[in-house]
Structure 1
Amino acid sequence: MRKTYTILGVIAVVVLVIYSLIPDSFFVEKVYPLEEGVFVTNYDDRSDGGFSTATLAMSDSSMKFECMLGADTTVPAWCGMLWNFDPDTLEKFRNWIFVDSVIFDVETSGTDEILVKLWAYDPDVTDLKKPKTFRLLMKEVKVSGGRERIVVPMEQFYTPDFWYEDAQVDKELNKRHQESMARLEIAPGWNHPRGKSFSIVFHEVSVKGISNFWFGAVLFAFLGITIVAVGFRHHKKNEDKDD
Structure 2
Amino acid sequence: MKKTYALLALIAIAILVAYALLPDRSFKEDLLPVPEGVTLDGYDDRSDGGASEASLSVNGGEAEFSCMLGADSVKFAWCGLLWNLDSQGEENYRNWTFVDTVFVDVEARGISEVIVKVWTFDPDVTDIGKPATFKLLLKEVPVKEGRQRVAVPMEEFYTPDFWYETAQVSKEYNKRHQETVARVEIVPGWNHPRGKKFTLKLYEVSFWGISNLYFGIVLVSFILLTIAAVGLRHKTGNDESKK
TM-score, scaled relative to structure 1: 0.88
Percent identity of equivalent pairs: 55
* CA distance, structure 1, for counterparts of residue 99 and residue 147 of structure 2: 24
Aligned to 1:205: 205
Matched, 1:107 2:107: yes
Query: Is the 2:79–2:187 Cα contact (8 Å) retained in structure 1?
Result: yes
Deviation for aligned residue 1:193 = 0.6
Deviation for aligned residue 1:113 = 0.4
* CA distance, structure 2, for counterparts of residue 202 and residue 46 of structure 1: 24
Give the aligned residue type for 2:196.
Answer: K
Give the aligned residue type for 2:198.
Answer: F
Aligned to 1:18: 17
Give SS of 2:7's match: helix
Aligned to 1:44: 44
* CA distance, structure 1, for counterparts of residue 134 and residue 94 of structure 2: 14
Aligned counterparts, 1:110-149, within 5 A? 110-149=110-149
* CA distance, structure 2, for counterparts of residue 193 and residue 226 of structure 1: 59
Query: Is the 1:113–1:189 Cα contact (8 Å) retained in structure 2?
Result: yes
Pick closer, same or farther for the CA change 1:17–1:112 going to 2, 3 Å.
Answer: same
Aligned to 1:35: 35
TM-score, scaled relative to structure 2: 0.88
Deviation for aligned residue 1:213 = 3.5
Give the aligned residue type for 1:44.
Answer: D
> CA-to-partner distance for each residue in 1:104-136, whole Å, 9 max, x for gaps?
111110000011111001111000000000000
> CA-to-partner distance for each residue in 1:151-194, whole Å, 9 max, x for gaps?
11101100000000000111111111000000011111111011
* CA distance, structure 2, for counterparts of residue 219 and residue 61 of structure 1: 37
Give SS of 1:163's match: helix
* CA distance, structure 1, for counterparts of residue 70 and residue 191 of structure 2: 14
Aligned to 2:155: 155
> CA-to-partner distance for each residue in 1:22-53, whole Å, 9 max, x for gaps?
58832111111111000011111111111011
Deviation for aligned residue 1:7 = 3.0
> CA-to-partner distance for each residue in 1:65-122, whole Å, 9 max, x for gaps?
0111100112111111100000111000111001101111111100000111110011
Give structure 1 regions of 4+ aligned residues with deviation exceeding 4 angstroms. 19-24, 226-237
Give SS of 1:178's match: coil
Aligned to 2:65: 65
* CA distance, structure 2, for counterparts of residue 36 and residue 236 of structure 1: 58
RMSD, aligned CA: 2.7
Deviation for aligned residue 1:150 = 1.0
Gapped runs of 5+ residues in structure 1? none
* CA distance, structure 1, for counterparts of residue 100 and residue 172 of structure 2: 23
